[in-house]
Structure 1
Amino acid sequence: MNIGAIRLSSPISDSDFQQAYARADLSRQRKIDAYLHREDKERSLVGDMLTRLMLFRQFGYVSLKVPFTADRFGKPYLESQSGIHFNISHAGDWIVSAVDSSPIGIDVERIRSIDMAVANHYFSDAEQERLKAVPPENKLSYFFDLWTLKESYIKAIGKGLNEPLRLFTIDLSVNEIKLISTKKKDAAWKFRQYEIDRAYKLSICAANDSFPNQVTEVVWDELLTFYMEER
């Protein structure tokens, strides 16, 4: 398993953007072109770039022209590569990507003020009760712990929001993160959280527990150099 993160705290220069855009596959270029805002175009391009770097480091996979395909639930994958799995997420300044030989999901969120009534729609009864018991000063942090862990799970199984979030529970009451569900196979999923920034939450859900000790932070110049190299 390999997990990468890049922080884009300032816009990418036009020169760098155009260079990287020209190297992207046609499918990615069309997705980038469909966005109206420059920051969304950058996230789409950089998410692709970061994932390909992580795939190279994990599997030696280097083709930049093979597009990432999305299934009917929107989960990206590589055709004819059943042993390669990856997932991407972005929020605020951060873009993250996780790759593994088994299904995997990743979610990053910026901790921000939110109407706690949202929990009534997306959290199970058990999660709501535990959230209510958390001291006020820790409520936001706990909310986003739950949110990112639940998101990482539904991204790992490839169902997106087609899997109702209220139908399963993330249990944080013990030392390990547990998924409580009516589906027996769900007991096999593993979770881990990493701190890349105190203002963010980052959670991973994976089919195995080969989690790295830390997230690999990549800087823009390093990523661009990799992406522009001839292979």
Structure 2
Amino acid sequence: MNELGSNVDKKQDDSSIVCKEYERVEWQDWRSCLYTDDIAVFRFYCAEDTIHQPDWSALLHTDEIERGGRYHRRDDRLRSLYTRSLLRILVGRYTNQDPLAIHLTKGLRNKPELPNNLGWHVNAAHSGNWILLAIGRDRVGIDVEEIKPDFAFTDVIPISFIAQEREYIEADGKSTVRFYELWTRKEAFVKAIGSGIDETFSQVPALTGFHKLETTKLEVAGEWVIDSFNVTEKYSAAIAYNCSPKNIQFYTIAHGIFTPPDKR
């Protein structure tokens, strides 16, 4: 067997995904965070009727503000600006840097990335009024979806799920909740590896349990965990990470995080 074949076999032997429900999610106040957790998830409620907004110029570069301003809908503009600002603030606290000094780069599929020497990985997602950010010492991916009973998800089931997953979604009259459970798991994983929603999406395992990766199409190695959790009763979410199971910390961010320390 040639060297390439050996490498492929090794990748298959070493690759696995465990999908599960995170047992206990306790949302802590963001002010209790020490910014040293191996993995942390932050949630932020972005109200559409927000009147008093932060000084974006003190938090973002000009191109980031302009990018957010290109959205036609006001709620989309706010989500973009808040997400990017929160990302800079949190990374600044994890790395002891001024938020504006942080160098954010674009990885695969425009996934925000940090320089390797900082030792942290980031990912963000938003849906409806909620923004989620994940920070970890290894690669992470996060997704959140507002559970919409009237969403025609049956249109995407044939191309996004394998037969066993389709059976699970359609069983017991809980199709909507189960669809979002599996979808967020898949999307969190592809965001973690930077592959995006493409022709390999349906091959990402999402049913609860242990899965040996036998396909090379995903181009991924190592042991992965995908944890499901709820942001609120109407928002389903998942986080994927490339490391052994760890105790994830969950925090709720309030608008006070945008207030300069000397004015709190």
Displacement of 1:163 in angstroms is 5.4
Name the stretch that deviates more: 119-128 or 185-194: 185-194
Q: Equivalent pairs: percent with the same residue? A: 22
Does 2:236 correspond to 1:198? no
TM-score (norm 1): 0.83
Tell me which residue corresponds to 1:94: 130
SS in 2 for 1:216: strand
Distance in 1 separating the partners of 2:110 and 2:59: 23
Tell me which residue corresponds to 1:135: 172
Number of equivalent positions: 219
2:190 to 140, 145, 154: 154
AA partner of residue 45 (structure 2) = R
Displacement of 1:28 in angstroms is 1.1
Tell me which residue corresponds to 2:34: none
SS in 2 for 1:41: helix
Describe the superposition over 1:74-117 as per-residue Cα deviations: whole angstroms up to 9, x where unpaired. Answer: 11112454622100000001001001111100000001123223
Q: CA RMSD in A?
A: 2.5
Distance in 2 separating the partners of 1:2 and 1:158: 20
CA change 1:179–1:144 in 2 (3 A) is: farther
Name the stretch that deviates more: 78-87 or 116-125: 78-87
AA partner of residue 195 (structure 1) = N
The structure with the larger Rg is 2
SS in 2 for 1:35: coil
Superposition misfits of 4+ residues, deviation over 6 angstroms: none
Structure 2: gaps spanning 5 or more residues: 1-38
Displacement of 1:187 in angstroms is 5.9
Distance in 1 separating the partners of 2:117 and 2:82: 22
CA change 1:186–1:144 in 2 (3 A) is: farther
Tell me which residue corresponds to 2:104: 68
Displacement of 1:180 in angstroms is 4.7
Higher relative contact order (CA 8 A, sep 6+): 2
Tell me which residue corresponds to 2:91: 55
Tell me which residue corresponds to 2:203: 167
Within 5 A, what are the aligned runs for 1:113-124?
113-115=150-152, 116-124=154-162
Structure 1: gaps spanning 5 or more residues: none
Displacement of 1:43 in angstroms is 0.7
2:213 to 166, 181, 189: 181
Displacement of 1:186 in angstroms is 5.0
Distance in 1 separating the partners of 2:43 and 2:69: 24
SS in 2 for 1:195: strand
> Could you tell me whether the CA contact under 8 Å between 1:168 and 1:179 is conserved in 2?
no
Does 2:40 correspond to 1:2? yes
CA change 1:21–1:154 in 2 (3 A) is: same
Tell me which residue corresponds to 2:26: none
Tell me which residue corresponds to 2:60: 24
Tell me which residue corresponds to 1:217: 252
> Could you tell me whether the CA contact under 8 Å between 2:144 and 2:235 is conserved in 1?
yes
Distance in 1 separating the partners of 2:68 and 2:189: 27
Distance in 2 separating the partners of 1:84 and 1:229: 28
Name the stretch that deviates more: 152-161 or 41-50: 41-50
TM-score (norm 2): 0.74
